[in-house]
Amino acid sequence: MSQTIEPQATPTVDVSLRRSSNRSLGLRGVGAVLVGVLLLLSFIRVITGADDLTSAGTLAAAIGLSVPIAMAGLGGLWSERSGVVNIGLEGMLVFGTFGAGWAGYQWGPWAGLFVGVAFGALGGLLHAVATVTFAVDQIVSGVAINILALGVTQYLASVLFDGVQGGGPTQSPPMTSMGSITIPGLSPFFLDVAANGWFFVSDVAAVLAALTTKLSYLTIIAVFLVVATYYVLWRTAFGLRLRSVGEAPHAAATLGVKVKRYKYIAVVMSGALAGFGGVFLAEVLSNIYREGQTAGRGYIGLAAMIFGNWRPGGMAAGAGLFGFTDALQLRGAEAVHALLAVAALALLLWALWILFRRRDLKKGGAALLFAVLFAWWYLATDELPPQATFVTPYVTTLVVLALATQRLRPPAADGIPYREGED
């Protein structure tokens, strides 16, 4: 329980550094992937008639459900880029929901935002004190923070909310909504086009409709935070130093970087971002703080971050995947069932690509086999049990990790306690 957490991290560093997969896709690449995914979904929607697959409602829900996961993931990214594994994100989300609920019902949603983020940051500070100052095992500290966060919020909730009108020992009184933006003119137009069911055009319109109708301010801030993270961590001297602390802290220290200070900043920031995710849960996806509201999203955010190879773009894609399957679950069985066809088609395309471009018969054949299996599953059944949708994102994450972990490259010193003067 002392040193490494990811034993294979060290030997693969040299190899994977040279790999192209470590480079980001770039804006054009991201655009191409988005268009590709939308084409795929659109095609399946037209064939199967499962309109909810890309309806404006589904997409709006998907965006909303992605945000807390993405914010937890972004928090994890800050922390792990500085070399501190943060499994306490779940607890920091809980702190965020509680802060939002407590301040929100008394002084309005913006105060809720501020206090929720501050509470999350406090959780981060605690993690920093334990892992940076005291060099405690990071997973251990994270687990402890999750337990603590649950205890503190449950206790405070029963002290502060019980007896207040609309509140109770497990929930805060309701707060007013922050409001949202609907762009007049554009929103109804896009909704109209989206409702027509044209191939691809309607799907693009649905995306635009989701973005122009009842868009929460917090969603906009969240998108800004993802972009800003990329800019700060990869395009500034500050970010370079912060990442250097996560790759080779002792080397960074010899160059005059204040290792502990950077780790502190990163971990507190991590908590603040997770707190923001919690605020979003309490204020946008609900209007109260409720016990158990986070439902493991901190862990899912962590998975999204790993899925995204410790990069903001990939992390956002992972969060989007989780949000999308979550949203489909809410929209009914038909759309979920169509997901099988999506999987079949995606696997088919991938198989063809491997067979013809990579000329790898074994891998391509396996992919093809799975494509056929999914197609058969789709055709042979009328609907999926609701639990199947529930597990979809988790199974997907496992499969993606199983296929791609060899290409993932975590920060080299991730999870290793840093002690000045010791190796």
Partner 1 sequence: MNRRFSPRAVALALAAPVLAVVFTMIITSIVLIASGKDPLQTFQVLVGEASKPRIQVQILNAATTYYLSAIAVAIGFRMNLFNIGVDGQYRLAAILAAAAGGAVALPAPLHVAFIIAVAMLVGACWAGIAAILKVTRGVSEVISTIMLNFIATGLIAYLLTPGRLAESIEGSNNISTKPIPESGWMPGIPLIPDAKGEVFGFIVIAGVVGVAYWFLLGRTRFGFDLRATGRSEPAAIASGVNVKKMIVVTMLLSGAVAGLVGMPQLLGSSHAYSLDFPAGLGFTGIAIALLGRNNPIGIAFGALLWAFLDSSATRLDFEGIPQEIVAIMQGVLVLSVVIAYELVRRYRVRQVAHDVGRQLGSTEPVSGQGAVA
Q: Which stretches of the chain bind partner 1, using CB under 8 A?
A: 1-8, 87, 126, 130, 134-137, 139-141, 143-152, 154-159, 162, 169, 296, 299, 302-303, 306, 385, 387-388, 390-391, 394-395, 397-398, 401-403, 405-406, 419-422
* Closer residue to partner 1 in complex, CB, 8/176: 8
Tokens of 302: 């962590």
Q: How far is the CB of 125 from partner 1 (least distance, A)?
A: 13
205: three-class secondary structure by DSSP: helix
* Closer residue to partner 1 in complex, CB, 35/395: 395
Q: How far is the CB of 369 from partner 1 (least distance, A)?
A: 18
* Closer residue to partner 1 in complex, CB, 44/74: 74
Q: How far is the CB of 51 from partner 1 (least distance, A)?
A: 26
Distance CA 172, CA 176 (A): 12
* Closer residue to partner 1 in complex, CB, 46/135: 135
- Rounded to the nearest 10 degrees, how much is the dihedral formed by the CA atoms of 204, 206, 207, 211? 140
Cβ(419)–Cβ(20) under 8 Å? no
Q: How far is the CB of 169 from partner 1 (least distance, A)?
A: 7
* Closer residue to partner 1 in complex, CB, 57/96: 96
Q: How far is the CB of 89 from partner 1 (least distance, A)?
A: 11
Q: How far is the CB of 389 from partner 1 (least distance, A)?
A: 9
Distance CA 339, CA 422 (A): 52
87: three-class secondary structure by DSSP: coil
Q: How far is the CB of 401 from partner 1 (least distance, A)?
A: 5
Q: How far is the CB of 33 from partner 1 (least distance, A)?
A: 23
User: Of 105, 88, 87, 96, which Cα lies nearest the Cα of 68?
Assistant: 96
User: Of 376, 384, 380, which Cα lies nearest the Cα of 332?
Assistant: 384
Please name the amino acid found at residue 379: L
* Closer residue to partner 1 in complex, CB, 192/420: 420
Core vs surface per residue 290-302: b (16+ CB within 10 A) or e: bbebbeebbbbbb
Angle (nearest 5°) at CA 101 between 99 and 107 = 90
Give residues with Cβ within 8 angstroms of 361, minimum separation 6.
355
Distance CA 337, CA 48 (A): 10
* Closer residue to partner 1 in complex, CB, 57/91: 91
Give the number of residues written for the chain: 423
* Closer residue to partner 1 in complex, CB, 93/113: 93
